[in-house]
Amino acid sequence: MSTVRPTARTVWDAVYDRIGDDLRAVIRYQPRDWESVMRDDVRERYAQRDTQAIVDQTIVGQLSYGRQESAFESGSLNALVQVFEDAWIVSCPDSTGRKSGVLISIERDGEAATMADVQWCIDLLEQGVDRLVA
């Protein structure tokens, strides 16, 4: 994974170019700080404390990545994809053991996005970040 950390806006712009309005939100997070870009209808649903709770839960989950890697013996755990009724949530840490990363929310059953786009987002965050901030 790259050491360059793009902003939420930079990730939003790249993903939006691919899937358009199926992109719901992008959150760039750290333990005590976060920034987000959200579709207007999604922003209306979340108060600042709600977004902080999402960040907190993401970081707590990330702390177990090392144990999961050992249990599954399938290589590095690079991202977590959660499937909800209305959205795919992709969380990708900056690196294992760090409490920072990017969370992307994508509309399920939208106009454009597919699981291939979810994989594209993971690839973007793993390998293509340098071109986003260059």
Per domain, the residue ranges of the chain are: 8-127
With both helix axes pointing from N to C terminus, report the angle between 115-127 and 8-19 in degrees, rounded to the nearest 10.
Answer: 150
pTM: 0.88
101 to each of 2, 11, 20, 58, how far by Cα in Å? Answer: 11, 12, 22, 9
State whether the Cα torsion 132-33-29-48 is positive or negative.
Answer: negative
pLDDT digits (tens, 9 = 90+) for 66-120: 677 778 878 777 889 999 999 999 999 887 667 899 999 999 988 999 999 999 9
8 A C-beta contact, residue 87 and residue 106: yes
* Least-confidence region, from 8-17, 37-46, 121-130: 121-130
Q: How far apart are CA 115 and CA 120, in angstroms?
A: 9
pLDDT at residue 64 in the model = 77
Task: Please calculate the CA angle 64-65-69 and round it to the nearest 5 degrees.
Answer: 120
The dotted CATH code for 8-127 is: 3.30.450.30
